[in-house]
Amino acid sequence: MRKIPIFVVDAFAESLFGGNPAAVCPLEDWLPDATLQAIAAENNLSETAFFVPVREQGADFRLRWFTPAVEIDLCGHATLASGHVLLNTLGFGRDRVVFLTRSGLLTVERDGEALRLDLPAAAPKPLREVPDDLRAGLGAAPEDWLATSNKYFAVYAKAESVAKLAPDMAALGRLTGKGVVVTAPGGDYGVDFVSRYFTPACGIAEDPVTGSAHCLLVPYWAQRLGRNRLEALQISARRGRLHTELAGDRVRLGGKVVPYLRGEIVVP
């Protein structure tokens, strides 16, 4: 039997039971992919992150993310969570950690009492043909439809419209693995913009706080508002606040992480 450490922390959280919980499992070497997926399914959180030490491309660790259903290409909150575990719990000897991932090199560094995450920017483009399942899935029609290669992006006029959405998850789940970002100006909440994120095809009905969605949100709102530094709030039931910045082709996300659980997994 093999024993694996596990940490569960709330990322982009102002207090415990807020933000987005992520499981983090440090490994000395990789387990079979089926075992990694089974652990993520057993945890039943939006993402479980696994990392192993590496010394290539300037990285400190190779990082992978699994939802309860699939391995994914990019996850912001579980990257922030992994950085927190290394910098604040496992005694990593520097103030900045570099991860090698499917989405390239990602960094997490100390930012006062918080942490700052660096991700690739991906500005959404106009969507020419809106799938019927997307229209039916959201119900209330937005002002504008946009998209990237792996996410749909719906813009509403008011934050209240985003808050009141009650999506048809069966319809959204038929969108061939694409997630759905919905957003609106955030004046009613005292921030620059609000958002929610749905990705039932990946085993997550609504993600509480989504770093990868802000790879789209920050470039969009920076251009629309004419400012590169923006305050964001993801208005899921758990809520998550992000301090964001567009820096060329990168998005920087700042937020706090609150520890919840540490333990041990036993696998064959």
Output phi, psi for 160, to 5 deg: -60, -35
**Confidence at residue 268, expressed as pLDDT on a 0 to 100 scale:** 86
The C-alpha atoms of residue 258 and residue 200 are separated, in whole angstroms, by 26
| Model confidence pLDDT, tens digit, residues 46-63 | 999 999 999 999 999 999
What single-letter amino acid sits at 211? G
Determine the 3-state secondary structure of 34 from DSSP: helix
**Confidence at residue 201, expressed as pLDDT on a 0 to 100 scale:** 87
Other CB atoms within 10 A of residue 261 CB:
10
Determine the 3-state secondary structure of 137 from DSSP: helix
Give the catalytic positions in this structure.
Answer: 47
**Confidence at residue 29, expressed as pLDDT on a 0 to 100 scale:** 96
Cα-based distances in Å from 261 to 8, 24, 37, 193: 5, 10, 20, 31
Bridge partners, 93 (sequence order):
none
**Confidence at residue 179, expressed as pLDDT on a 0 to 100 scale:** 94
Q: Which of 68, 92, 18 is nearest to 259 (CA)?
A: 18
Domains delineated in the chain: 2-120+254-267 (3.10.310.10), 125-248 (3.10.310.10)
Other CB atoms within 10 A of residue 175 CB:
19
With a cut of 70, list the residues of the chain below it in pLDDT: none
The C-alpha atoms of residue 121 and residue 168 are separated, in whole angstroms, by 29
The C-alpha atoms of residue 65 and residue 72 are separated, in whole angstroms, by 6
11-47 burial code (b ≥16 CB/10 A, e <16): bbbeeeebbbbbbbbbbeeebeeebbbebbeebebbb
The C-alpha atoms of residue 132 and residue 138 are separated, in whole angstroms, by 10
pTM for the full model?
0.93
Is 74 within 8 Å of 119 (Cβ atoms)? yes
**Confidence at residue 176, expressed as pLDDT on a 0 to 100 scale:** 77
